[in-house]
Structure formats: C-alpha cells, structure tokens
Structure 1
C-alpha cells in the first residue's frame, strides 16, 4: 500500500469516504452526506435484553462492559453504511469512534454496564 493512503478507506453506500478513519468526526460518521449517530442511548436502542448465557464449559458469561454495549448498538449501523469493510476493519473503526467519544457521551453506556453487572450479581451470586 502506498505511504500517502490511509490504512483503509471505508465505503459509504458505494461511495469512497475520502477521510482516513482517524479524521472522522467524533460523534458521527456519514452516509450520503447525512450523519450516522454514534451516541444512540442504550435505553432507546430497542435491543433485546441479552440473557447471561453459558460458555462451552458451562460457566456463566460475564456481563457486557460499556464498550461492548456501545458496539453492539452501533456495529450494525456502521456495517450497513460500509458494506465493503471487513469485520476486522469494522472493529478498528468502532474502537476509534468509541475512543473519540467524550466521557459525557460514554456515560450512558457505563451506566447500562453497571446495571447489567448488578443484575448479573443478583442472578448469579457468589
């Protein structure tokens, strides 16, 4: 890859996004000129509550942390807006966008993570 090109170029609805990932706006990406909100609150995301399943060894899985909650909400949005981006690059994009959010923007996800942690402790004490 040439030195003057970004690590990867995201594709937004078939149109190349000319900015490298680290130059995207902090609170939203864009699709066809309209912003994609990257601060959808967990309470308004309309995602079903994830039960605490078990892994292959029968152990109860840990509750999701703030980043995992945020990425679970926003991964489908970014994936749909960037269909040509592979899973690895989408994860990098998500990580970059999460790190650009302010503490105030991240706070609802930390609160939801704390709620899930308390619920997990109630359902599986010890």
Structure 2
C-alpha cells in the first residue's frame, strides 16, 4: 500500500461505508456512527472495515483510526466477515463489493484534499 495519508484513508473509509450502506439500504452516516448503533449498521460497519482491510490492504491500525475503533475490534470484524464467506451467496456479494471498492478507489487520485472527515458523519 502507498505511504500513510490520513485524509486519503478517511476518503477510502467513507467510500467503503457508503458503498456498503447503499448495498444494504442504509445511510452512510449510520455506518459511520461513533456509537454502536443498530445491529444492521454495526454489521455494515464490520463489512466496510473488512473491505478496507481485504480489498485495499489497509493495516488494522489504519482501519481502526478511520473508524475511531480499537484495532482488536477491526480484527474481530474481519474474522467475523471472513467466516461468513463460507456461505456461497454472501461470498459472491462481498466479492462484488470488493471489486466495486477497489475499482472506484483506483479512479480517485486520493490526495485527500477533498476529504470528508468521518467525524463530520457523526
């Protein structure tokens, strides 16, 4: 992965959260909440964290920083979503999200200058 750029990480986290929220019929702001939120928004947040880790190769610490969580929480979320991939339908769905995220992330210059802070979403 490229060098550490907090604004770019925030942009990517917002993108992952918005993509996941859209796929699940939620609002991105619900996924990005500072508190736990509903079960659906919590699961969507776990998926978004997984997408950043598995799809974009961000470290646990970087994902944790962007979502204002502990890196052990991100690790737990990634393991949980990985276990859910045993279901073939879920595996196809998450793979499609991963491809979508990586495609859009590759399009953006991602210098972070147009960044939307995750703190703005809560």
TM range (shorter): 0.3 to 0.5
Normalised by the size of structure 2, how large is the TM-score?
A: 0.33
Q: TM-score, normalised by structure 1?
A: 0.32
Higher helix share: 2
Larger-Rg structure: 1
Instruction: Work out which structure has the larger RCO, using CA pairs closer than 8 Å and 6 or more positions apart in sequence.
Output: 2
